[in-house]
């Protein structure tokens, strides 16, 4: 029994020590103190990132709502422009609805950068004759070209070429392979 009572006292002291050690003092850190590179978010939703060594840093609260929206839209357009391969259904040159926003982002980029050129490379899967597949790849590249021009790109910035079935993205046969080979690739120069 005596060991049990001592064990209980020891466990109680250990518990109190842990609670005291884990508790916060609730104090605040002085501005300029080491330990954090980011200030708190202010009432308008901005925050300040400090560059250290007594410099002021950059505050997002300085941006207007319009500037934030423009920056967000610019970032979204840049993200969309990372997609440069567009796939087509079997035996068609119709641009899929999910590709339209991405192609609009490319068209706007070309419109804003008149010195930039792009080559549209049309491809087809292995089914069909070589001549038919070359023509199909050309129709696909031309469809993308027309879409880009309608959305602001200049005809002089765009070159189209068809490789037909000659440059497959994936070797083999079967619907999943063929689907990856029915495409137009944008190659910026």
Fold held by 85-188: 60s Ribosomal Protein L30; Chain: A; (3.30.1330)
What was the pLDDT predicted at 59?
Answer: 54
Confidence of residue 114 (pLDDT cuts 50, 70, 90): very high
Predicted local distance difference test score (pLDDT) of residue 115: 96
Question: pLDDT (tens digit, 9 = 90+) per residue, 132-167?
Answer: 999 999 999 999 999 999 999 999 999 999 999 999
Task: Tell me the mean pLDDT in the region 63-75.
Answer: 84
The 8 Å CB, 24+ separation contacts for 80-86 are: 80/105, 80/106, 81/105, 81/106, 81/109, 84/185, 84/186, 84/187, 84/188, 85/169, 85/183, 85/184, 85/185, 85/186, 86/144, 86/183, 86/184, 86/185, 86/186
């Amino acid at each position: 029994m005596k060991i049990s009572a001592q064990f209980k006292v020891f466990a109680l002291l250990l518990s109190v020590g842990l609670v005291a050690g884990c508790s916060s003092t609730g104090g605040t850190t002085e501005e300029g103190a080491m330990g954090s590179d980011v200030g708190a978010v202010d009432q308008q939703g901005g925050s300040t990132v400090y560059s250290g060594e007594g410099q002021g840093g950059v505050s997002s609260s300085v941006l207007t709502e319009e500037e934030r929206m423009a920056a967000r839209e610019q970032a979204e357009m840049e993200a969309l422009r990372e997609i440069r391969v567009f796939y087509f259904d079997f035996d068609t040159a119709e641009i899929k609805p999910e590709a339209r926003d991405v192609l609009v982002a490319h068209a706007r980029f070309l419109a804003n950068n008149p010195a930039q050129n792009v080559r549209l490379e049309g491809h087809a899967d292995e089914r069909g004759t070589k001549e038919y597949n070359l023509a199909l790849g050309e129709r696909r590249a031309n469809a993308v070209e027309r879409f880009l021009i309608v959305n602001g790109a200049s005809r002089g910035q765009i070159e189209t070429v068809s490789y037909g079935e000659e440059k497959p993205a994936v070797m083999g046969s079967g619907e999943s392979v063929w689907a990856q080979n029915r495409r137009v690739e944008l190659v910026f120069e």
